[in-house]
């Protein structure tokens, strides 16, 4: 299922809302500017019309106007034109500029109009001439004329307003991004805390302090779910430990009965099965113990000291079985790992090598500066069906000797390595045998007090 970013969604929705709001505000502002411009323009036209009404008079077959009025009208600039519509016939006015080629409305009252002719826009007014029946005075202004700056101002306002709107929108989105990121920072912190939860750290909980109140119920539900998981895990662990303890006594009685009453030819075979069951019980107890172990992720262990300690403890058993074991590699390799967990994991690998290889096998424990321990042997190697994660699964049949054993040794070693923050891998040891790699997280500089055993 595709995922989406809350930050991206908030920014997109806010940008859309801001853009719509800005466009509506700009549209409203332009309407206000247009209406204001039309009102001012009509006031100018009305003022000129009033002056013409008082300064016009007939002269012969035409119209003339007083010098004072003509001078005042010409003061408005060359963008204005003046003429008389006399019985439907345009008549120029002496001393005034006229452009009678436009059709104009002739009504009982003042009529304001706009005309478009080519690239030019004209705005004007026509009104009946007082005392003259069938005559209208006409005043027209060419809005594209250089003298008319109001339309230029409107165009400039539109351009500048568009640029300012773009800058405003980008700035607002940048501020929104910062605000939203800061608001989501507690959620990222909660996500990191939830990500630290593992089967080995079920005690981890999400700190709800400082969290937005909208997500606190969700985080509380997560904590409650983790409480239930931890409780169920504890019950399962306790059950395994109790079951293993309870099985010890019946197995001891069963061994005694086999030794006393069993058929001589069947006793060895039955004892081997009882040995396998007892080994499984011991492994179950060990699993319960391992699950209950605490782990300090900041603890530092020296792999060389660890290897020397564990090899020294098991070397007599190797010698007694006619096998050889040695340690090679770096003198000191500090890593982040809980010593007791790493020691148990290495013990499991050494026991595995000892039990499942014949006499004469040579086992080499290598301490690699790349923060790993390798346990390699020249025994028979892994069976053909042992592959991938199946080798480290509990009770897996993918073992060296798949006819015996509990199938828990490698599983325990793998789980112990996971708890230390490392991992366990297996591969063929050319030309024969098997090599197990215990990989850890290295320490950049060896701190004081690094544990060496």
**One domain for residues 213 and 125:** no
Strands 324-329 and 362-368: parallel
Per-residue pLDDT, averaged over 375-382, amounts to 86
Do the Cβ atoms of 22 and 169 come closer than 8 Å?
A: yes
273 and 310 inside one domain: no
Is the domain of 312 the same as that of 401? yes
> What's the token pair of residue 41?
């323009």
Give the percent of the chain with pLDDT over 90: 16
Same domain, 12 and 144: yes
Residues 145 and 13 in one domain: yes
How much is the pLDDT for 389? 58
Please check whether residue 352 lies inside any domain of the structure. yes
Domain boundary among 272, 292, 312: 292
Give the end of a domain, one of 247, 264, 292.
Answer: 292
Phi, psi of 3 (to 5 degrees): -105, 165
Model confidence at 14: pLDDT above 70: yes
Q: Is the pLDDT reported for residue 85 higher than 80?
A: yes
Cα dihedral value 34, 39, 41, 45, nearest 10: 150
Tell me how many degrees the CA angle 62-63-68 measures, rounded to the nearest 5.
155
Extract the tokens encoding 108: 């009982």
pLDDT in tens, 106-140: 888 889 998 888 888 888 999 998 878 888 889 99
Contact 365, 375 (CB under 8 A): yes
More confident residue, 152 or 13: 13
Confidence of residue 149 (pLDDT cuts 50, 70, 90): low
Residue 256 has pLDDT above 90, yes or no: no
SS3 206: coil
Q: What pLDDT is recorded for position 372?
A: 95
Residue 181 located in a structural domain: no
Specify the pLDDT at position 314.
92
CA 164, 166, 171 angle in degrees (round to 5)? 95
The CATH number of the domain holding residue 257 is 1.10.287.130
When pLDDT is averaged across residues 149-154 and rounded to a whole number, the result is 59
Sequence-distant (6+) residues with CB within 8 A of 153 are none
Instruction: Give a yes or no: residue 193 inside a domain.
Output: no
Tell me: do 271 and 336 sit in the same domain. no
Residue at 26 is within a domain: yes
The encoded tokens of residue 447 equal 């701190």
Alpha helices (H) in 3-57, listed in sequence order: 6-55
Read off the pTM. Answer: 0.46
Question: What is the number of domains present in the chain?
Answer: 3
C-beta neighbour count of 280 within 10 angstroms: 18
The answer on 50 and 93 residing in a single domain is yes
Three-state secondary structure string covering 222-291: HHHHHHHHHHHHHHHHHHHHHHHHHHHHHHHHHHHHHHHHCCCCCHHHHHHHHHHHHHHHHHHHHHHHHH
The helix (run of H) or strand (run of E) holding residue 415 is: helix 409-419
Shared domain for 288 and 305, answered yes or no, is no
- 335: helix, strand or coil: strand
Identify whether residues 319 and 436 lie together within a single domain. Answer: yes
Query: Do residue 41 and residue 87 come from a single domain?
Result: yes
**Mean of per-residue pLDDT scores for the chain:** 79
- pLDDT recorded at residue 396: 55
3-state DSSP assignment of residue 326: strand
The residue segments making up the domain with residue 435 are: 300-442
Asked whether residue 124 falls in the same domain as residue 14, the answer is yes
265 shares a domain with 336: no
Q: Are 267 and 258 in contact (CB under 8 A)?
A: yes
Model confidence at 405: pLDDT above 70: no
pLDDT of residue 157: 67
pLDDT at 102 over 80: yes
The pLDDT, as a whole number, for residue 401 is 41
- The DSSP annotation for 380-402 comes to S---TT--GGGGGSTT-S-SSST
Residue 249 placed within a domain: yes
Q: How many residues does the chain have?
A: 453
């Amino acid at each position: 299922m595709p995922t989406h970013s809350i930050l991206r969604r908030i920014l997109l929705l806010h940008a859309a809302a801001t853009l719509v709001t800005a466009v509506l505000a700009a549209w409203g502002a332009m309407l206000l500017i247009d209406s204001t411009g039309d009102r001012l323009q009509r006031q100018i036209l009305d003022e000129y019309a009033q002056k013409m009404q008082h300064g016009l008079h007939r002269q012969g077959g035409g119209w003339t106007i007083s010098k004072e009025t003509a001078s005042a009208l010409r003061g408005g600039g060359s963008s204005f034109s003046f003429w008389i519509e006399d019985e439907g016939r345009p008549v120029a006015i002496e001393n005034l500029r006229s452009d009678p080629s436009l059709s104009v409305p002739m009504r009982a009252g003042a009529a304001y109009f706009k005309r478009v002719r080519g690239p030019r826009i004209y705005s004007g007014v026509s009104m009946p001439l007082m005392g003259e029946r069938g005559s209208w005075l006409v005043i027209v202004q060419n809005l594209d004329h250089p003298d008319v700056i109001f339309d230029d101002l409107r165009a400039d306002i539109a351009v500048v307003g568009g640029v300012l709107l773009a800058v405003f929108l980008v700035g607002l989105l940048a501020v929104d991004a910062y605000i939203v990121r800061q608001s989501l920072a507690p959620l990222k912190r909660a996500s990191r805390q939830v990500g630290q939860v593992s089967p080995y750290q079920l005690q981890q909980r999400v700190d709800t302090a400082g969290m937005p109140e909208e997500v606190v119920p969700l985080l509380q539900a997560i904590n409650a779910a983790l409480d239930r998981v931890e409780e169920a895990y504890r019950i399962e662990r306790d059950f395994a430990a109790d079951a293993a303890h309870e099985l010890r006594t019946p197995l001891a009685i069963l061994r005694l009965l086999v030794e006393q009453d069993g058929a001589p030819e069947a006793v060895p075979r039955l004892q081997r099965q009882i040995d396998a069951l007892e080994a499984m019980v011991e492994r179950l107890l060990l699993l319960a113990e391992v699950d209950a172990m605490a782990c300090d992720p900041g603890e530092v262990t020296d792999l060389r000291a660890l290897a020397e300690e564990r090899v020294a403890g098991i070397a007599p058993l190797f010698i007694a079985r006619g096998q050889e074991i040695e340690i090679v590699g770096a003198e000191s390799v500090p890593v982040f790992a809980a010593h007791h967990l790493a020691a148990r994991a290495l013990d499991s690998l050494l026991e595995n090598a000892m039990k499942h290889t014949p006499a004469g096998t040579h086992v080499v424990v290598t301490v690699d500066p790349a923060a790993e321990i390798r346990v390699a042997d020249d025994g028979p190697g892994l069976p053909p069906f042992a592959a991938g994660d199946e080798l480290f699964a509990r009770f897996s049949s993918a073992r060296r000797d798949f006819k015996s054993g509990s199938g828990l040794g490698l599983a325990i070693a793998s789980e112990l390595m996971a708890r230390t923050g490392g991992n366990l891998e297996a591969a063929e040891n050319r030309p024969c045998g098997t090599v197990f790699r215990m990989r850890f997280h290295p320490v950049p500089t060896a701190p004081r007090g690094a544990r060496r055993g």
